[in-house]
Structure 1
Amino acid sequence: MSVTNRYREAWEGFWREAPNEPGAVFWDSEPALTAARHLAHFAPRIDRPELPMVDLGCGNGTQTRYLAERYPKMTTGLDLSPTAVAYARHQDPECQAEFAELDATDLRAVEELHTRLGDANVYVRGVLHQCEAADRRSVADAIAVLTGAEGRAFVVELAEAAKPVLMGLAAGPAGPPPKLRPVFAHGIVPGEVTDDAVVAMFKSAGLAIFAEGELPLITTEFTGTGRRIELPSRWLVVGRAQSG
């Protein structure tokens, strides 16, 4: 099985049109506002910090580079879009991390990566809620394969409470904010999965929920009054039950 063609084309089209510069994309906030806050909850719950770190759905690699500074043994950023991967490599001239294309619903490719890396700790930010409904369970299965028996995954997704906020932004008199317009223009509809469904997907994939909580997803966009746009999000730490 592979990810739906429409979804692949939507993301490749999005990244081809996105400026190749930090902060140009709606969710490409500096790591101090994103990965750093997430690691405060994730790092204490990683049993095996010496394992490779995988950033699944890395986009242009902003958070991957931050993770690589803290987990230098092997940090790998993976994305469906070849253009996103090219951007990530371009923005990492010191080669702090590895970057590669991966369709997370391609089980064979995921298993091959696990064979090469071994069990890994996995960082996943905002992937499931932007997937086609038919692909979400496969992505959860991929996370289970990559973590294996000893890794842990930190998964942060827009909370269902974010959807009305996004719809309100889109319905404003001037339309969506400039950095949100390309997301909708390419048919990417964030916030389409419920909080309970996220938990259920990981449990169905054989993963236990070790911790969960709420954090704002801080974007790079601002309202007309100059207030930075923040969206409700939920985070989970998941892994095989026997790893705890």
Structure 2
Amino acid sequence: MSVSERYQQAWESYWRETSDAPGEAIWDADPSLSAAPHLDLLAPHADLSLPIVDLGCGNGTQTRYLASRFGRAVGVDLSLGAVEHARRADPAGAAEYRQLNLTDAAGVAELARRLGDTNVYMRAVIHQSDAADRRPVAEAVATLLGRRGRGFVAELTAESKAVLAELAAGPGGPPAKLRRVFDHGLRPADAADKEVPEVLAEAGLEILAEGPTALAQTEQWPDGSRVELPARWFVVSRA
């Protein structure tokens, strides 16, 4: 079994065992805490008349928000189970959803031909991709952007690993949403901090703006405060 197949099966099993309840996935934060502030960072650099593709869309929570701001929004995920969740959550068809492995260069090129130049939203995909897949994922962003598109990429930093370790070390062990991530063999915050900008550059992407941020989670600390994972954001274009 190839690395990507193992990884795809891990995600299929994760989404198969996830209900349609909003927020059941630890990263399924409300768009007001995710896509909305991220779009505020992307908008000054982007042509908002272009479509937007949400790479690693999961159950489509952020994609549906993006569909309210763009004329066309497409959610893409490695997992067919995730895409099925997203379609069920969007009976009005505000956005489109399709299964696609971002390391499938031919499939990505076909989507790029269909959409033309497009903006890209990608939250926390590179850091938990297998090492060999990180550059192809970044190359998929470059292919989809074309000449006019701009991309927003947010990735967990190494510091978030310490936050997750602290969360997992509570008296009852990892809280349920985090335990499910570990149980399915998913690996958060697996890329070194310097690797992300290097991978973006190797893929032919230019960083137009960047800064620190924190990715809101749907899990809470014992005192009831929201878990937030340290991250870094980048706005990119084709170099």
Same fold (TM over 0.5): yes
SS in 2 for 1:156: strand
Structure 2 partner of 1:55? 54
SS in 1 for 2:174: coil
Query: 2:141 is matched with which residue: 137, 140, 143?
Result: 143
Cα contact 1:177–1:223 (8 A) shared by 2: no
Given the alignment of the two structures, is residue 159 of structure 1 paired with residue 157 of structure 2, yes or no?
A: yes
TM-aligned CA deviation for residue 45 of structure 1? 1.3
Cα contact 1:3–1:106 (8 A) shared by 2: no
Structure 1 partner of 2:63? 64
Structure 1 partner of 2:37? 37
What is the Cα-based RMSD across aligned positions, in Å? 1.1
Q: Distance in 1 between matches of 2:165 and 2:220?
A: 15
Cα contact 1:169–1:177 (8 A) shared by 2: yes
TM-aligned CA deviation for residue 185 of structure 1? 0.4
Cα contact 1:3–1:103 (8 A) shared by 2: no
Structure 2 partner of 1:114? 112
Structure 2 partner of 1:4? 4
Q: Distance in 2 between matches of 1:155 and 1:207?
A: 11
Structure 2 partner of 1:81? 79
1:1-244 pair list within 5 angstroms: 4-46=4-46, 48-71=47-70, 73-241=71-239
Equivalenced residue count is 238
SS in 2 for 1:229: strand
Q: Distance in 1 between matches of 2:3 and 2:114?
A: 22
Q: Distance in 2 between matches of 1:182 and 1:134?
A: 24
Change over 3 Å in CA distance of 1:3–1:239 after alignment to 2: farther
Amino acid at match of 1:23: G
CA deviations over 1:66-98 (Å, ceiling 9, x no partner): 000000x21100001111101100000111000
Q: Distance in 2 between matches of 1:42 and 1:214?
A: 14
Amino acid at match of 2:221: T
SS in 1 for 2:155: strand
SS in 2 for 1:198: helix
CA deviations over 1:45-77 (Å, ceiling 9, x no partner): 11x221110000000000000000000x21100
Q: Mind listing any 5+ residue stretches in structure 2 that lack a counterpart?
A: none
SS in 1 for 2:177: coil
Amino acid at match of 1:53: I
Q: Which consecutive aligned stretches of 4+ in structure 1 deviate over 4 angstroms post-superposition? A: none
Q: Distance in 2 between matches of 1:222 and 1:206?
A: 38
Q: Distance in 1 between matches of 2:189 and 2:198?
A: 16
Q: Give TM-score scaled by structure 2 length.
A: 0.97
SS in 2 for 1:238: strand
Q: Distance in 2 between matches of 1:26 and 1:123?
A: 19
Q: Mind listing any 5+ residue stretches in structure 1 that lack a counterpart?
A: none
Percentage of pairs with the same residue: 54
TM-aligned CA deviation for residue 3 of structure 1? 6.5
